[in-house]
Every structure is written in C-alpha cells, then in structure tokens.
Amino acid sequence: MKHNQATRRDFLSTTVSAGIAAGMANGGFFESPLHANETKKLGVALVGLGSLSTNQIAPGLLHSSHCKLAAIVTGTPAKESVWAAKYGIAKDHIYNYESFEKIASDDSIDIVYVVLPNSMHAEFTIRAAKAGKHVLCEKPMANTAEECREMIAACKKADRKLAIGYRCQYEPHHLYCMNLAKTKELGAIKHIEAGFGFKIGDPTQWRLKKKLAGGGALMDVGIYALQACRYLTGEEPVSVIAQETKTDAVKFAEVDESIAWMMKFPSGVVAHCTTTYSLNGINRFHATTENGYIRMDPAYSYNDNRLETARGTSRGETKLAQVDQFATEMDEFAKCILENKPSKVSGEEGLKDMLVVEAIYDSIKTGASVRVVA
C-alpha cells in the first residue's frame, strides 16, 4: 500500500531534525553497518525456501553489502535446481533437512538464517549452533518461552551469536520514532495504540495449524505491534489483559483469528493493541505524547511506511529513505559478528516478546489480567 500525501507543515525542522543530525554526527541510530574498510562478506545459508525467502530475503542478500547467499536448505527437491540456477549455488552447498548437519564442514557458511514454520525454529537454531554457525531466526522466535531459552542456551554454549528477524528495528522511520521517544522531543509518551492484521487466504496453510504455528494472528503479525510498544516505551509490560474474537470457527479452529489486548508499563503508559487474520488495513501505531503524537501508518510494511508527528495543532510528515529491510538487518548482524558485539535483536529480545505473548494467551483463557513474569 502506498501513501504519497505531501508534508502539511515542516514544524519540526529546527527541533527534531537537529536531534536527528546530532544523532548521526555522534554515531547514533543511523550509524553505518560496518566500518568503511570492512570488505568481508559473510556466507548465509537459507533454511526454508518459502515465500519470505523467495521474495524478500534472497533478493535482500543481493543488496547486502556484507552478506551473500552461500547455501540453501530445503525439504522440497524441486526447488533445488531452480535456486541453483537463479543464484549460482553449487550442488555441494545444497542441503536438505536430513543432511543439515553437514553444514558444519562447509566453510562458506557463516550464518544460518532460519525461515521455517515457527515450530521448527528451535530445532534448527540449536542444530545450526551445534554445527558452529551463527543464527538469524525469523520471528516469532519460537512457539514457547521455554524453547526460546533452549535456543539462547545452545548458542551461548557454542559461542555463536543469535539474532531474531525484527527488521523494523533497523528501518529508518522506526529508528526516528525510537529517537523521538527516547529524547522526549515531543514530551513523554502517555498512551499507545498499535495494531497489525491482514485477511489470511488459503485455509490449508501452515499458519492455521497450531502444531506448526503455535498461534495465529498474534504470533504472526500481532508481535509487530507488541514490539513497537516495547521499543517506543523502552520498558517491559508488567501486566496484560486480552480478549479473543472468532468469526469463523472452522477456518480458525486451531489458532486465534482476532485478539485485542491492553498492556500496562512501569511508567504508567497504557497500550491498546489489536491483531487479526480477518481483515486488511490494520498496520499502524499511534503514540500520544505530552505535547503531540508520533504516528506510523502503514508502520510494518516492507516499504512505503509513513511517519507523521504533531506538536500541539501543528502536524508534519517526515519522509526518510526507503531501505531494503532484510539487507539492512543482515548487514547489522554481520557487524555484530565481525566486531564481536551483541545484537540489539538478540535471543533475549525474542524471549521477552514470547513471555508477553504467553501472558496474552493466559489472559484469554482466564478472562483476567495476567502479570508478565521474566
């Protein structure tokens, strides 16, 4: 979806823009992914060649400055020749799920990117770590908090880095919003409304099967709204209360269709969030501040996200560069590996989300407010 509305008022030109420039000058949130003299490209093995790998991640690797596609792992033999021809992958760098452990002796692979159904994230993250590879795992990190802990432990034991695919945490508009919130340019945040949903199609797909997906809309896209509330406040929610709605008990027999939940944060900020698999057009957050607001709509798309801010009655749209979000997140992970620094989207970050998700599901079951326990 595209929004091409012109800026109505550039009221932040001397305040927010100055803050952005200062952040850039001090090596802040627009810092270059790697030092200019760093030329090594890390090899990435894609595990799972579904839609996301095909349409976003593999093309993103072509745009990456510091990563390259080195190998593929698939359970569908027919995909092997297609990918080999398209990306020039030699036969000895093509693996299946049974031969996966052979990647341990493949020196072309530095990073394993796990892009499988949620229930397989823990298994292949642990197997990759044991094979001596760093791991980038798609969100949600796993189906349970306990699986998240096992993944973190396995990577620590192997002395390998683990990051979760929270691409929005590297997207310029989101970084801008984080900086506004942190510096309180518009005053402290007082309330957040956030949501993400879409109308899901094929009723036979794995996302509608609890064994594979762990949950429905909340696990798939609601987690983006949850993340936004956490990184805008810079806090962890202390309690949640949630309610689920189903309009199609057959299609959504195993997973949630629509959920609305409220989170309370230590500072007093309250967030009202929604997620759904039943309609399009919910893709936003709106953070009300003491002096105005910070809003993105759309907020979580692969491109064309739109940012609007307000101070009093003055409003303005801030247009920043559109980036390949997957290339950017992979370059940032490469930086962490090459400079031996922790990722800001580490396994611990994924675990924090899953603890909130579990509290939301518990609240739906009990009908009561549930404390989020670390």
135 and 51 fall within a common domain: yes
Paired sense of beta strands 189-197 and 270-276, if any: parallel
pLDDT at site 101: 98
pLDDT of the residue at 39: 65
Please, what is the average pLDDT of the chain? 91
**Whether residue 148 is found in the same domain as residue 226:** no
pLDDT at 58: 98
Q: Are 115 and 160 found together in one domain? A: yes
Cα–Cα distance, 35 to 12 (Å, whole number): 31
Could you confirm whether 224 is annotated as catalytic?
yes
Is the pLDDT score of 11 beyond 80? no
**Cα–Cα distance, 279 to 323 (Å, whole number):** 27
The answer to whether residues 177 and 278 belong to one domain is: yes
Q: If we measure between CA atoms, which residue out of 65, 75, 114, 69 comes closest to residue 89?
A: 69
Q: Both tokens of residue 314?
A: 């003055």
C-alpha–C-alpha distance, residues 69 and 72, integer Å:
8
pLDDT digits (tens, 9 = 90+) for 326-358: 999 999 999 999 999 999 999 999 999 999 999
Q: Read off the CATH number of the domain in which 117 is found.
A: 3.40.50.720
CA-based nearest residue to 106, from 165, 47, 39: 47
Query: Per the domain annotation, does 22 fall within a domain?
Result: yes
pLDDT band at 2 (very low <50, low <70, confident <90, very high): very low
Q: Where are the beta strands (DSSP E) in 38-168?
A: 42-47, 67-73, 94-95, 111-114, 134-137, 162-164
Does 151 share its domain with 199? no
Backbone φ and ψ of 243, nearest 5°:
-140, 140
17 pLDDT exceeds 90?
no
**From 113, 170, 176, 224, active-site residue:** 224
pLDDT at 123 over 80: yes
- As a whole number, mean pLDDT of residues 15-32 equals 37
Q: Using one digit for the tens of pLDDT, what is the confidence trace for 221-254? A: 999 999 999 999 999 999 999 999 999 999 999 9
Token pair in block for residue 231: 């990184």
How many secondary structure helices (H) and strands (E) does the chain include? 12, 15
Q: Per residue in 151-170, pLDDT tens? A: 999 999 999 999 999 999 99
What pLDDT band is residue 374 in, cutting at 50, 70 and 90? confident
Q: Is residue 58 part of a domain?
A: yes
User: Does residue 335 form part of some domain?
Assistant: no
Q: Please state, in angstroms and rounded to a whole number, the distance separating the CA atoms of residues 104 and 78.
A: 24
Residue 328 lies in a domain: no
Give, for 317, the enclosing helix (H) or strand (E).
strand 314-318
Q: What is the pLDDT of residues 24-50, one digit of tens each?
A: 333 343 344 444 445 689 999 999 999
Q: What is the pLDDT of residue 27?
A: 34
Find the catalytic residue in 95, 113, 139, 335.
Answer: 139
Instruction: Say which residues have a Cβ less than 8 Å from residue 327's Cβ, sequence separation at least 6.
Output: 60, 61, 63, 64, 65, 67
pTM of the model: 0.90
Residues 142 and 71 in one domain: yes
88 located within any domain: yes
Residues 55 and 200 in one domain: no
Are residues 110 and 47 both part of a single domain?
yes
**147 and 241 share a domain?**
no
130 classed as catalytic: no
Residues 11 and 37 sit within 8 Å (Cβ to Cβ): no
Domain tally for the chain? 2
Residue 194's nearest CA partner among 139, 90, 283, 273 is 273
pLDDT band at 5 (very low <50, low <70, confident <90, very high): very low
Same domain for 102 and 134: yes
Position 107 pLDDT exceeds 70: yes
1 is a domain residue? no
- Burial group, residue 85, by CB count within 10 angstroms (0-12, 13-18, 19+): exposed
Residue-number span of the structural domain to which 79 is assigned: 42-167
Q: Say which amino acid occupies 216.
A: G
Domain harbouring 317, CATH code: 3.30.360.10
Please check whether residue 182 lies inside any domain of the structure. yes
The pLDDT of residue 40 is 80
